[in-house]
A and B are shown apart, each in its own frame.
Chain A
Amino acid sequence: DVVLTQTPVSLLISLGGQASISCRSSQSLVHSNGNTYLHWYLQKPGQSPQLLIYQVSNRFSGIPDRFSGSGSGTDFTLKISRVEPEDLGVYYCLQRTHNPYTFGAGTKLELK
């Protein structure tokens, strides 16, 4: 199975600051069709996960441009600029290139 390693495990960020989360894969996430199925989710306290970024760098509908995704192959990054209170929670990466699909262990974003 593909292992996704997320770092850091937790982040303490001031309001208005910038956060960066890494997701490294144990193998390339480039699908045979050329697409890379690496997605990012935020799970706010008491809620279900919500999609933020799909296929590495595409913001989902309604997601502010403070969120950006980048990367290729095995190394991916989610950046959150100008952190706001509603950004707090646990961030997960998910790969849907290789079956079984797998999630990273999560990164908890907290306020400093």
Chain B
Amino acid sequence: EVQLVESGGSLVQPGGSLKLSCVASGFTFSNYWMDWVRQTPGKSLEWIGEINTDGSKTNYAPSIKDRFTISRDNAKSTLYLQMSNVKSDDTAIYYCTRKGGVDWGQGVMVTVSS
């Protein structure tokens, strides 16, 4: 059974940094592109970015480019989202997804507030 478990969410101050993790199990992690998607309190979904199988290629949404970085550790079957210079608009539930949205984690909450 495919499982994606996000962690690392918390309350962070504007301008601060946070790193989210997503531990994968039930499939060969290194074979799949992975994405991060977020859902704001207003409930809309926003694609953040994706990473290829060996971590050599990433694509990002313009709204977070140069502030967020997606990486992965295939040996640990773990996907990461490094968030920097966060803003109040980054307050959301963050999901990792496999295979372009076939499988989703349960999500982790990030709140940006002073």
Closest-by-CB residue of B relative to A49 is B104
CB–CB A48/B101 < 8 A:
no
Closest-by-CB residue of B relative to A101 is B47
- Asked whether A30 is an interface residue with its Cβ less than 8 Å from the other chain, the reply is no
CB–CB A100/B45 < 8 A:
no
Q: For the complex formed, measure the closest distance between the CB of B94 and the CB atoms of chain A, giving whole angstroms.
A: 11
CB–CB A103/B104 < 8 A:
no
Secondary structure dominating the interface of B: loop
Q: Which residues of A lie under 8 Å from residue B106 when comparing CB positions?
A: 48
Bitwise, A79-112 to B at CB < 8 A (1) or not (0) is 0000000000010101010011111011000000
CB–CB B101/A39 < 8 A:
yes
- Asked whether A13 is an interface residue with its Cβ less than 8 Å from the other chain, the reply is no
CB–CB A49/B47 < 8 A:
no
Question: How many CB-defined contacts (below 8 Å) exist between A and B?
Answer: 40
Q: Considering the chains assembled together, what is the distance between the CA atoms of A99 and B62 in angstroms?
A: 10
- Asked whether A11 is an interface residue with its Cβ less than 8 Å from the other chain, the reply is no
CB–CB A106/B44 < 8 A:
yes
Q: For the complex formed, measure the closest distance between the CB of A53 and the CB atoms of chain B, giving whole angstroms.
A: 12
Please name 24 pairs of A and B residues whose Cβ atoms are closer than 8 Å in the assembled complex, sorted by A. Answer: A1-B62, A41-B101, A48-B104, A48-B105, A48-B106, A49-B95, A49-B101, A49-B104, A51-B101, A60-B102, A90-B43, A94-B45, A94-B101, A99-B59, A100-B47, A100-B59, A102-B47, A103-B44, A103-B45, A103-B46, A103-B47, A105-B44, A106-B43, A106-B45
* 4 A-B pairs closest in CB distance: A48-B104, A103-B45, A101-B47, A100-B61
